[in-house]
Amino acid sequence: MNTVSEKIDAKLVKELREKSGAPMGDCLKALQESKGDIEAAFVVLRKRGMASAQKKASRSTNEGAVGTYIHAGGKIGVLLEINCESDFVARTDDFQTLLKDISMHIAASDPKFVKPEDVTPEDLEREREVYKAQAAATGKPPAVIEKIAEGKMAKFYEEVCLLEQPFIKDQSVSIKELIAQKVGKLGENITVRRFARFKVGDPNWTIATTKQIEAAPAE
């Protein structure tokens, strides 16, 4: 009688590998767990990637690289710094591809902040008041107005924060999850430090930076 692993087609493993960027062995295990369902296996890998990224999140990222992306025609330009733990990882094809993909994403999606924690109190209060006013205009009770406003704030974060945005090449994956996949594959913490986006003729260019997470104390 065939085992589950024998029933998993090699082409399916390769397809999941290309979709997720995870190692072949991890792809096989995820497909085994999902009984050959590639979409379910992808979800398994995403969860594992996020868990791995969370475990490494406190580790210092003092190496990395700066990448650039110039949109066709030279009308939009992006400068991006992504950090990792070692120069070796920074020079890998996987890390350089991540740098290029996120630079391209920034050019297309125009985020204003790196992550939700970077949004200024002034911006938060302005947006929350707007959403409350919109909800109040419908005649909803105060408790419902608050819930509506909070729901819209989550959407606001997705619109303006790089890590919360759906990746332009794969809308089912956020930039945060994209980075988590690389963390799981490369075995190091990876963080976006800062970026700048310029558009010809637009005086309102974007420069965003975030604080580095301090290294965990040695045990």
pLDDT tens, residue by residue, 160-213: 999 999 999 999 889 999 999 899 888 899 999 999 999 998 888 899 999 755
Residue in the structure block whose two tokens are 């003729």: 201
Helix (H, G, I), strand (E, B) or coil at 205: coil
Residue 129: domain span = 120-158
- The CA distance from 55 to 35, in Å, is 28
* Residue 148 shares a structural domain with residue 169: no
Residues 178, 101 contacting (CB under 8 angstroms): yes
Determine the pLDDT at residue 217: 39
- The CA distance from 5 to 28, in Å, is 8
* Residue 129 shares a structural domain with residue 179: no
* Residue 70 shares a structural domain with residue 112: yes
Range of lowest pLDDT (26-35, 91-100, 112-121, 197-206): 26-35
Q: Please give the order of strands across the beta sheet that includes 76-84.
A: 63-70, 76-84, 191-199, 206-209
Determine the pLDDT at residue 175: 95
* Residue 102 shares a structural domain with residue 198: yes
User: Quick check: is 219 in a domain?
Assistant: no
User: Quick check: is 218 in a domain?
Assistant: no
Determine the pLDDT at residue 4: 45
Query: How many domains would you assign to the chain?
Result: 3
Is pLDDT at 102 greater than 50 in this prediction?
yes
* Residue 82 shares a structural domain with residue 147: no
Is pLDDT at 91 greater than 50 in this prediction?
yes
pLDDT tens, residue by residue, 44-83: 877 776 666 777 777 888 999 999 999 978 999 999 999 9
User: Looking at the whole model, is its pTM more than 0.85?
Assistant: no
First vs last C-alpha separation in the chain: 49
* Residue 90 shares a structural domain with residue 134: no
Helix (H, G, I), strand (E, B) or coil at 167: strand
Range of lowest pLDDT (69-73, 95-99, 147-151): 147-151
